[in-house]
Amino acid sequence: MSDKPVALASDHAGVDLKAVLRQAMEAAGHTVLDLGTNGAESVDYPRFADAMAAAIRDGHADRGVLICGTGIGISIAANRHRHVRAALCHDTTTARLARQHNDANVLVLGARTTGVEIARDCTIAFLTTDFEGGRHARRVEMLG
Ligand code: RB5
């Protein structure tokens, strides 16, 4: 597991969940790199996906969590960056498998579609599960 901070970002729809997840990650011993947004004012989710991609590209974080209303827009935007493997998850099984099989480096959650407890459990599963490698490594390499 990386010693680097875990990057965390959301649009306005995800601000409340972001605060909950920040607390949960810090309680679990992680340092959090909060990339915003930090208020209710409407903002554009691609900017926060781009900020996440830049934080990972520049080595400020190896892993991150992104949130928007559904998780859809911000995951589409994040996956435009080739070094990002962003997985939109609605349950802990997919959060775990996103790490084990896909080596996902960004967990994406929908604040309006996933309950707080499930979102918290997904985050902990994502941060505590290693990539299995093996046959999955070849496939992940093929993603570019
Ligand atoms: C913002 O209203 C909303 O469209 C955004 O958070 C997200 O759900 C887009 O996919």
- 10, 11, 17, 80, best to mutate for ligand 1 pocket (most atoms within 8 Å of CB): 11
Mean of all residue pLDDT scores within the chain:
97
Residue-level pLDDT at 101: 98
Show Cβ contacts of residue 3 under 8 Å, excluding neighbours closer than 6 positions: none
101 catalytic residue (yes or no): yes
Domain chopping of the chain, boundaries = 6-142
* CA separation for the pair 136, 101 (Å, rounded): 6
Q: Hey, whose CA ends up nearest to atom 10 of ligand 1?
A: 73
Superfamily of domain 6-142: Sugar-phosphate isomerase, RpiB/LacA/LacB (3.40.1400.10)
* φ and ψ at residue 69, rounded to 5 degrees: -60, -55
User: H/E element holding 28?
Assistant: none
Residue-level pLDDT at 88: 99
CA 142 to ligand 1 centroid distance, Å: 30
pTM of the model: 0.98
**Lowest-pLDDT range of 1-10, 26-35, 77-86, 118-127:** 1-10
Q: Is 13's C-beta closer than 6 angstroms to any atom of ligand 1?
A: yes
Q: What average pLDDT score do residues 40-55 get?
A: 98
Is 49:66 a contact under the CB 8 Å cutoff?
yes
Residue 1 has pLDDT above 90, yes or no: no
Q: What is the dihedral of CA 138, 59, 98, 128, to 10 degrees?
A: 120
CA 73 to ligand 1 centroid distance, Å: 6
Percent of the chain at pLDDT above 90? 97
Q: How far is CA 48 from CA 53, 77, 78, 125, 138, in A?
A: 9, 9, 9, 23, 30
Percent of the chain at pLDDT above 70? 99
Is 104:130 a contact under the CB 8 Å cutoff?
no
Catalytic residue among 12, 68, 89, 122: 68
